[in-house]
């Protein structure tokens, strides 16, 4: 199982350089390189993302103390994301493959647009009143959960700018908060998929999943160590363009 390990490591490095898990790039690889159907790719991606999130939390253990004042943010976004993850998994399991291809393609395109926006925009906190912030955080959490379970991603590319925009939290702390929100969100998505027939793809592919997850963890660590070698903003724009092309290709596949 060298090939999934290598691809997992490469994706992990890219994700580590950008401060993300790289799952948004893993999904096109699973569909176009390894020929999994979109729904099977989403489930595998979700499992690998979960393992990667666990490793990332361990890598950041020294910063856990710093998140104590921000528990209200975690709980607000998490309350919405758990609902969104459950809804997304149910929706993805019920619709036909071609329609799922088109929906996932659109979501990937939105992720690409968000990645480009992040490099061009400074997120100043909105500064709304407390009640409105709670509703916005809860609503944002639902959207994040939908993206997570329908793409099989941890959702950091959505969670981090949301936290920065709504609450004005430092980007490094936002990264740790993002992982804490992603961990239970992914579990809910996996639990919902586990009840459905497509989850049967997991058992015969355990060695594949383990190999790709191991590569992703190693790559994420290497990418984090390589920070400063490359301009993360330029890299993010380049990879967003690649993601856009993947979205177009997947959409065309769904139209056939």
Our count of domains for the chain comes to 1
Model pLDDT, residue 20: 66
Model pLDDT, residue 214: 94
Summarize the confidence of residues 193-206 as an average pLDDT: 89
d(CA 29, CA 23): 10
Summarize the confidence of residues 92-121 as an average pLDDT: 84
| Residue 140 pLDDT class (50, 70, 90 cuts) | very high
Summarize the confidence of residues 192-196 as an average pLDDT: 87
Summarize the confidence of residues 37-61 as an average pLDDT: 86
| Residue 149 pLDDT class (50, 70, 90 cuts) | very high
Model pLDDT, residue 139: 93
Lowest-pLDDT range, 53-67, 91-105, 239-253? 53-67
Specify which of 10-19, 156-165, 208-217 reaches the highest per-range mean pLDDT: 208-217
| Residue 62 pLDDT class (50, 70, 90 cuts) | low
Model pLDDT, residue 58: 78
- Residue 222 pLDDT greater than 90, yes or no: no
| Residue 238 pLDDT class (50, 70, 90 cuts) | confident
| Residue 126 pLDDT class (50, 70, 90 cuts) | low
Percent of the chain with pLDDT over 90: 30
| Residue 25 pLDDT class (50, 70, 90 cuts) | confident
Summarize the confidence of residues 169-195 as an average pLDDT: 86
CB atoms within 10 A of CB 175: 19
Model pLDDT, residue 144: 92
Find the domain containing 53 and state its range.
2-255
What's the full length of the chain, in residues?
256
| Residue 202 pLDDT class (50, 70, 90 cuts) | very high
For the chain, give the mean pLDDT.
Answer: 84
| Residue 232 pLDDT class (50, 70, 90 cuts) | low
d(CA 238, CA 232): 10
- Residue 208 pLDDT greater than 90, yes or no: yes
> Token match 């948004």: residue?
24
> Token match 């590319």: residue?
157
Summarize the confidence of residues 50-68 as an average pLDDT: 76
- Residue 3 pLDDT greater than 70, yes or no: yes
**Nearest to 21, CA basis, from 219, 227, 229, 231:** 219
Query: What's the half-sphere exposure (Cβ side, CA atoms, 13 Å) at 4?
Result: 21
């Amino acid at each position: 199982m060298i090939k999934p390990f290598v691809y997992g490591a490469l994706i992990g490095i890219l994700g580590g350089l950008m401060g993300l898990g790289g799952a948004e790039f893993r999904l096109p690889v699973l569909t176009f390189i390894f020929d999994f159907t979109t729904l099977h790719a989403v489930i595998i991606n979700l499992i690998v993302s979960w393992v990667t999130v666990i490793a990332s939390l361990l890598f950041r253990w020294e910063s856990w103390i710093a998140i104590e004042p921000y528990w209200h943010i975690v709980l607000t976004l998490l309350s919405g994301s758990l609902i969104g993850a459950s809804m997304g998994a149910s929706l993805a399991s019920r619709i036909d493959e071609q329609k799922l291809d088109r929906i996932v393609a659109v979501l990937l395109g939105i992720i690409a647009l968000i990645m480009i926006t992040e490099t061009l925009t400074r997120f100043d906190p909105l500064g709304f009143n407390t009640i409105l912030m709670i509703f916005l955080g809860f609503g944002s959490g639902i959207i994040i959960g939908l993206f997570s379970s329908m793409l099989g991603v941890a959702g950091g590319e959505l969670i981090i700018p949301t936290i920065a925009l709504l609450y004005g939290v430092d980007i490094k702390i936002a990264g740790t908060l993002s992982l804490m929100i992603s961990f239970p969100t992914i579990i809910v998505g996996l639990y919902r998929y586990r009840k459905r027939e497509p989850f049967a793809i997991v058992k015969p592919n355990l060695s594949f999943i383990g190999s790709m997850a191991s590569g992703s963890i190693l790559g994420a660590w290497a990418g984090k160590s390589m920070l400063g070698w490359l301009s993360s903003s330029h890299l993010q724009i380049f990879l967003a363009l690649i993601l856009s092309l993947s979205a177009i290709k997947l959409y065309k596949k769904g139209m056939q």
